[in-house]
Amino acid sequence: MATIAVVPALLAPDYAPRVLWQDQAPPPTIGPSSLPPSCDAVVVGAGYCGLSAARELARRGLHVVVVDKEPLGWGASTRNGGMVIPELKAGPAALERSLGPVGRRLYHEVNEAFDHVEALVAGVDPAASGGIDCDYERTGQLYLAHAPRLVRGLEELAREHAAMGEAVRFVPRDELAAEIGSDAYHGAVVMERTGGLHPARFHAGLARLALEAGAELHDRTAAVAIDRRHGGFHVLTTRGAVSARQVLVATNAYADDLLPELRRRVLPVGSYIIATDVLPTELARAVSPRDRMFVDTKNFLFYWRLTPDGRVLFGGRRSLAPVEVHEARDFLYDELVRVHPQLAGTPITHAWGGSVAITLDRLPHVGRLDGVWYATGCNGSGVALNTWLGGRLAAVLVGEAPPPAAAELVHRRIPAHAWRWGYLPFVGSWFAWQDRGPGRPGLRTPRP
Grouping H, G, I as helix, E, B as strand and the rest as coil, residue 389 is helix
Verify binding: residue 356, ligand FAD, rule CB under 6 A.
yes
User: How far apart are CB 253 and ligand FAD at their closest, in Å?
Assistant: 6
Residue pair 74/50 in contact (Cβ under 8 Å)? The answer is: no
Using the contact rule CB under 6 A, the part of the chain among 148-156, 170-178, 336-344, 354-362 near ligand FAD is 354-362
Interface pick for ligand FAD out of 114, 143, 233, 254 (rule CB under 6 A): 254
Contacts of 100 (CB under 8 A, 6+ apart): none
Question: Cβ of residue 439: shortest distance to ligand FAD, in angstroms?
Answer: 27
Count the alpha carbons within 13 Å of 227 in the hemisphere toward its beta carbon.
8
Q: Which residue is nearest to ligand FAD (CB)?
A: 382
Q: What are phi and psi of 303, to 5 degrees?
A: -135, 135
Contact present, 283 and 336 (Cβ < 8 Å): no
Closest approach, Cβ 172 to ligand FAD, in A, equals: 26
The correct pick among 271, 276, 319, 346 for binding ligand FAD (CB under 6 A) is: 271
Q: Does 354 bind ligand FAD (CB under 6 A)?
A: yes
CB 10 within 8 A of CB 333: yes
Task: Report in angstroms how near the CB of residue 160 gets to ligand FAD at its nearest.
Answer: 20
Quick note: the x/- pattern for ligand FAD over 273-302, rule CB under 6 A, is x-----------------------------
Residue 366 in contact with residue 407, Cβ under 8 Å? yes
For the bound state, the minimum distance from the C-beta of residue 345 to ligand FAD, rounded and expressed in Å, comes to 25
Our CB check for ligand FAD shows the closer of 77 and 307 to be 77
Residue of the chain from 9, 43, 49, 117 that contacts ligand FAD (CB under 6 A): 49
| Residue 80 binds ligand FAD, judged by CB under 6 A | yes
Tell whether residue 86 is a contact of ligand FAD (CB under 6 A).
no
Q: Helix (H) and strand (E) counts for the chain? A: 11, 19
Q: CA–CA separation, 57 vs 176, rounded Å?
A: 46
The one segment of 61-69, 143-151, 282-290, 421-429 that binds ligand FAD by CB under 6 A? 61-69
Q: Which of 111, 194, 297, 381 binds ligand FAD (CB under 6 A)?
A: 381
Q: Which stretch binds ligand FAD (CB under 6 A): 27-35, 45-53, 146-154, 437-445?
A: 45-53
Contact present, 401 and 416 (Cβ < 8 Å): no
Nearest to 405 by CA among 136, 22, 111, 83: 111
How far apart are CB 282 and ligand FAD at their closest, in Å?
A: 26
Least distance between ligand FAD and beta carbon 87 (Å) = 8
* CB nearer ligand FAD, residue 151 or residue 168: 168
Q: Which of 393, 405, 357 is nearest to 64 (CA)?
A: 393
**How near is the Cβ of 70 to ligand FAD at its closest, in Å?**
4
- Least distance to ligand FAD, CB of residue 334, Å: 18
Q: How many residues bind ligand FAD (CB under 6 A)?
A: 44
If binding is defined by CB under 6 A, does position 137 make contact with ligand FAD?
Answer: no
258 is a site residue for ligand FAD (CB under 6 A): yes
Exactly one of 9, 25, 46, 93 binds ligand FAD (CB under 6 A); which one? 46
Among 112, 133, 256, 408, binds ligand FAD (CB under 6 A): 256
Q: Give the pairing type, strands 293-296 and 141-144.
A: parallel
Phi first, then psi, for residue 24 (nearest 5°) are: -80, -25
Could you give the angle at the alpha carbon of 208 between the alpha carbons of 204 and 212, nearest 5°? Answer: 170
Alpha helices by DSSP H, listed for 255-297, are 260-263, 281-287
- Cβ neighbours of residue 195 closer than 8 Å, sequence gap 6 or more: 83, 84, 114, 117, 118, 136, 137, 138, 139, 293
Helix intervals (H) in 269-372: 281-287, 325-339
**The one among 75, 91, 92, 404 contacting ligand FAD by CB under 6 A:** 75
Residue 205 touches ligand FAD, criterion: CB under 6 A? no
Cβ-contact 59, 127 below 8 angstroms: yes
Question: What residue ranges in 297-385 does DSSP mark as E strands?
Answer: 303-306, 312-316, 348-358, 365-369, 372-376
Site string for ligand FAD, 5-44 (x = CB under 6 A): ---------------------------------------x
Q: Using CB under 6 A as the criterion, which residues of the chain lie in contact with ligand FAD when the complex forms?
A: 44-50, 67-70, 74-77, 79-83, 85, 222-223, 250-254, 256, 258, 271, 273, 303, 315, 354-356, 378, 380-384, 386
